[in-house]
């Protein structure tokens, strides 16, 4: 049985943890190899940040603290034993196909605060939180959605949950951050508790639980009330099902059509360009707006956008390079990094026009 742990290790990017596990030769831990593997990933990220910012040299980071946090995470998730040797489950994390399911299952069971942050984002639909001064905000009477953790602990959870495509977020210009769910999530306990209750879908959380119960054939609706399905067998509806000691968790990513994406892209582009076609708009700003509107992750946006550039439909999209100017936001510059074009340059600006306007 996996033990619960209150503090989530501060591994800010999942790629660092994958590099750490991949540094093993067989099952044995080699500190020098592990440090070199983590440092290589950290340096690669810093190089990309420097390039995007137009800086000549990346920030020098040794990665020693990151290595220690990776060790904590591996031990707490049961991926290494007391002698730092890999357990068989580590192979599931190194497998890209099984990685997300396994990590979500273990993290949901191991970290109560991970569950708390994800469910709080779902229950409130949109969290508006200070980026830095959590203690000052609490002194002024802000309960921060009753999140019983400090800012750094929240950021560790936020970043891992973002990498695992449960939530997304973006900073605002007034030193705050908007956090929102990008997947429909419900637990078996929540669904079971609906039995005999009147149907309600007023809130985002109620919609998630209702849709999950109906999709998976766990409940039915009769006379505007929920009824349990005798001997019900869940249907395969594209849900990720987590089996933990404490509950069963059902997760379904939002399915956005290319048409809906294109429409949202155009609307948010016009909002940022002040209704002007072919006016340059910063890629990260447009991505933040569209992702929040559609409840999708940054990689999903990048994938849709690059596909539309290669095969345009109703819009012509013109990407161009440049330099990001986020000197005041260096603490979270990683959230602003756009994808790179085939030539290796970052896509910093986008200009868009309707094809029928030509």
DSSP characters over 43-54? HHHHHHHHHHHT
Q: Are residues 148 and 90 in the same domain?
A: no
- Domain of residue 295 covers 258-357
Task: Find all residues with CB under 8 Å of 351, minimum gap 6, and list them.
Answer: 277, 278, 279, 280, 281, 317, 318, 320
Q: Give me the phi and psi of 205, to 5 degrees please.
A: -65, -40
Residues 281-301, mean pLDDT to the nearest whole number: 96
What is each CA distance from 10 to 89, 153, 160, in whole angstroms?
A: 21, 7, 9
Let me know whether 263 and 352 are in one domain.
Answer: yes
pLDDT at residue 76 in the model: 97
- Is the pLDDT reported for residue 266 higher than 60? yes
DSSP 3-state assignment of 184? strand
Residues 273 and 346 in one domain: yes
**Co-location of 59 and 89 in the same domain:** yes
CATH of the domain at 153: 1.10.10
Residue 132, SS3?
coil
- Cα dihedral: 230, 235, 237, 241 (round 10): 80
Res 310 pLDDT > 60: yes
Strands of 104-196, DSSP E: 127-130, 167-171, 176-181, 183-187
CA R_g for the chain:
22
* Residue 7 placed within a domain: no
Number of domains in the chain: 4
215 and 299 both lie in a single domain: no
> Are 143 and 126 found together in one domain?
yes
Give the three-state DSSP class for 103: helix
Secondary structure of 206-243 in the HEC alphabet?
Answer: HHHHHHHHHHCCCEEEECCEEEECCCCCCCCCCCEEEE
- Domain contains 161: yes
Residue 329 pLDDT class (50, 70, 90 cuts): low
In a domain, 271, yes or no: yes
Shared domain for 197 and 176, answered yes or no, is no
- Residue, of 162 and 3, whose pLDDT is higher: 162
User: Assign residue 236 a region: left if phi > 0, alpha if psi is -120 to 50, beta otherwise?
Assistant: beta
One domain, residues 264 and 340 = yes
Query: What pLDDT does residue 326 have?
Result: 62
Whether 144 maps to a domain, the answer reads yes
The pLDDT of residue 336 is 84
Distance from C-alpha of 248 to C-alpha of 175, rounded to nearest angstrom: 37
Angle, CA 252 vertex, CA 247 and CA 255 arms, to 5°: 170
Residue that finishes a domain, picked among 192, 219, 253: 253
- Same domain for 52 and 116, yes or no, is no
**Do 244 and 275 fall into the same domain?**
no
- CA nearest neighbour of 88 among 129, 42, 27, 137: 27
> Does 8 map to a domain?
no
pLDDT confidence band for 210 (50 / 70 / 90) = very high
Could you give the angle at the alpha carbon of 125 between the alpha carbons of 122 and 126, nearest 5°?
120
The percent of residues above 90 in pLDDT, for the chain, comes to 80
User: Is residue 239 domain-shared with residue 263, that is, in the same domain?
Assistant: no
pLDDT, greater one: 234 or 225: 225
Give the pLDDT confidence of 123-136 residue by residue, as tens digits: 999 999 999 999 99
Residue finishing a domain among 182, 217, 237 = 182
β-sheet bridge partners, residue 281: 350
Q: What is the pTM of this model?
A: 0.93
For the chain, what is the mean pLDDT?
A: 92
Kindly state whether residue 3 falls inside one of the protein's structural domains. Answer: no
My answer on whether 129 and 84 are in the same domain is: no
Residue 5 belongs to some domain of the structure: no
Q: Which of 253, 288, 306 is the last residue of a domain?
A: 253
290 located within any domain: yes
Question: pLDDT tens digit string along 48-80?
Answer: 888 888 876 777 666 689 999 999 999 999 999
Question: Which value, to the nearest 10 degrees, does the dihedral of the CA atoms of residues 146, 164, 299, 331 take?
Answer: 50
């Amino acid at each position: 049985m996996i033990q619960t742990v209150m503090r989530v290790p501060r591994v800010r990017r999942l790629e660092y943890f994958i590099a750490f596990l991949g540094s093993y030769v067989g099952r044995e831990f080699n500190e020098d190899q592990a440090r070199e593997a983590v440092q290589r990933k950290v340096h690669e990220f810093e190089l990309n940040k420097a390039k995007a910012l137009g800086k000549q040299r990346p920030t020098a980071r040794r990665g020693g603290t990151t290595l220690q946090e990776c060790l904590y995470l591996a031990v707490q998730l049961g991926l290494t034993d007391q002698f730092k040797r890999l357990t068989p489950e580590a192979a599931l994390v190194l497998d890209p196909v099984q990685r997300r399911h396994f990590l979500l299952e273990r993290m949901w069971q191991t970290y109560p605060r991970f569950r708390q942050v994800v469910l709080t984002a779902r229950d409130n639909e949109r969290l508006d939180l200070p980026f830095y001064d959590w203690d000052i905000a609490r002194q002024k009477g802000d309960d921060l959605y009753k999140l019983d953790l400090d800012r750094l602990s929240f950021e560790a959870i936020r970043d891992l949950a973002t990498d695992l495509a449960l939530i997304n977020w973006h900073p605002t210009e007034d030193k705050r951050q908007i956090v929102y769910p990008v997947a429909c999530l419900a637990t078996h306990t929540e669904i079971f508790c609906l039995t005999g209750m009147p149907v309600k879908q007023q809130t985002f959380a109620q919609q998630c639980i209702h849709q999950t119960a109906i999709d998976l054939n766990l409940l039915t609706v009769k006379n505007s009330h929920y009824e349990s399905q005798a001997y019900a067998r869940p249907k395969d509806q594209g849900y990720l099902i987590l089996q933990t000691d404490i509950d069963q968790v059902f997760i379904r990513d939002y399915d956005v059509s290319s048409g809906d994406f294109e429409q949202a892209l155009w609307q948010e582009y016009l909002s940022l360009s002040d209704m002007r076609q072919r006016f340059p708009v910063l890629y990260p700003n447009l991505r933040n707006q569209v992702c929040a509107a559609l409840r999708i992750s940054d990689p999903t946006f990048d994938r849709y956008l690059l596909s539309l550039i290669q095969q345009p439909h109703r819009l012509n999209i013109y990407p161009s390079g440049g330099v990001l100017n986020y000197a005041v936001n260096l603490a979270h510059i990683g959230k602003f990094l756009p994808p790179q074009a085939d030539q290796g340059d970052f896509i910093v600006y986008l200009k868009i026009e309707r094809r029928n306007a030509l």
